[in-house]
Amino acid sequence: MARAYGRGYSGFTSAWVHWQQTPARYKHNGDRNPPAGALVFWQGGKYGHIAISTGGGKIISTDIGGTGTLTRSTISTVEKKWGQKYVGWTAPWYR
């Protein structure tokens, strides 16, 4: 996701670590209506998942449409397809 914002690396080892280490003032826990451009996070598996919101509960995500793909999808599709728990969104924040 960092590349979408002109950065080579996010500074975090995984999506889940990114969520955990983002300062609370940037987090919107459980808010299912992130604005376009927000980073959206899920908990599950070893690394969690991160995507970019396009607004209205829709996202751009890697791999949800198949390995190696970039796909328009929804917050709920990630929950249903991968069994991950949506935890919320943040404004783009990197180390």
Per-residue pLDDT of the chain (95 residues; tens, 9 = 90+): 666 666 666 778 898 999 999 999 999 999 999 999 999 999 999 999 999 999 999 999 989 899 999 899 999 999 999 999 999 999 887 77
* Nearest one of 25, 21, 27 to 39, comparing CA atoms: 27
Confidence at residue 25, expressed as pLDDT on a 0 to 100 scale: 94
**54 is a domain residue:** yes
**74 is a domain residue:** yes
| pTM attached to this predicted model | 0.88
**70 is a domain residue:** yes
Confidence at residue 8, expressed as pLDDT on a 0 to 100 scale: 64
**25 is a domain residue:** yes
Reported as type and span, the H/E element at residue 72 is strand 70-74
* Nearest one of 20, 74, 85, 80 to 51, comparing CA atoms: 74
Confidence at residue 6, expressed as pLDDT on a 0 to 100 scale: 64
Confidence at residue 29, expressed as pLDDT on a 0 to 100 scale: 97
* Domain around 17: 2-90
Q: Total structural domains in the chain?
A: 1
Which sign, positive or negative, has the C-alpha torsion 15, 19, 87, 75?
negative
Confidence at residue 92, expressed as pLDDT on a 0 to 100 scale: 83
**95 is a domain residue:** no
**7 is a domain residue:** yes
**23 is a domain residue:** yes
